[in-house]
Copies of this chain bind each other. A is one copy, B any other.
């Protein structure tokens, strides 16, 4: 096997109505994962080192994704996975999914496996499952495919990649809030059943938001980047969200939603957005809450690639 390094970007899932369906990759942050041979090993050994701290395969989603791939394909090459984490963890920006995506991308290239992007998503999803308790492929799909990834189905794994309008920028709002078992709590808040009326409204919004993000039509995005099913069920986790959304839209943000399971927030911006004012408005809100916040102005990212 040859040494290989892959890079994969952060992402925001859901975007309002797209729970377990839609995620967008962004250039805000990225992980870098190198795979190399463990000299003399040949029984499927997997070692993981993350930001200088060594561990076994199960200590990290990248290792678990590698394990899933190894087990399915019956691989024997001993490998060392070295991760440089660039994406902050636990803030709803697809950090664990991105590490898993970069790891499978690097292994695929290193061992010339010729896997499809769908296969890469499948193995990376298995790696990520352990971190949330439920397999969900949205962030991983965005990190592998880039752009706006839309899950057509999970069995078989099928993803459609859409490009968003060039006029749209992305602003990430990243509060310094760590919540214990956040992803699990967020998933447990999701209702098991919904009414037919909620379904109709939710599916209209998803359809129209997908249209709007491609065309850049700010009215369509603004009206449909809303969710009364999943996002509303989690509102107790993000007491600051409604005020931030309201203030940002007043300052010309095109659309606002919680990023994945939060607490970060993703906003789309365009030429009519006063981004400086959005940032200062949001800063004021967090100041009054005595909570630190940071921002990232970025663009849609491409898919995972080998350096």
Contact = CB atoms under 8 A, between A and B. Distances in A.
Interface of A: 17, 19-21, 150-153, 160, 190-196, 198-204, 206-208, 210-211, 220, 223, 229
A152 B192 contact: no
14 contacts: A19-B200, A20-B200, A21-B200, A21-B203, A151-B204, A152-B208, A153-B201, A192-B195, A199-B199, A199-B202, A204-B206, A206-B206, A210-B210, A211-B211
A97 to B, nearest CB: 18
Contact of A194 (B20, B150, B151, B194): B194
**Copies of this protein in the complex:** 2
B203 A202 contact: yes
A111 to B, nearest CB: 31
A242 to B, nearest CB: 20
B17 A204 contact: no
A150 B208 contact: yes
Contacts of A199: 194, 198-199, 202-203, 229
Contact of A206 (B19, B198, B203): B203
Nearest to A217: B160
List of 8 A-B pairs having minimum Cβ-Cβ separation, nearest first: A203-B203, A207-B207, A203-B206, A193-B193, A199-B199, A207-B210, A206-B207, A20-B200
Nearest to A160: B208
A228 to B, nearest CB: 12
Nearest to A229: B199
B192 A196 contact: yes
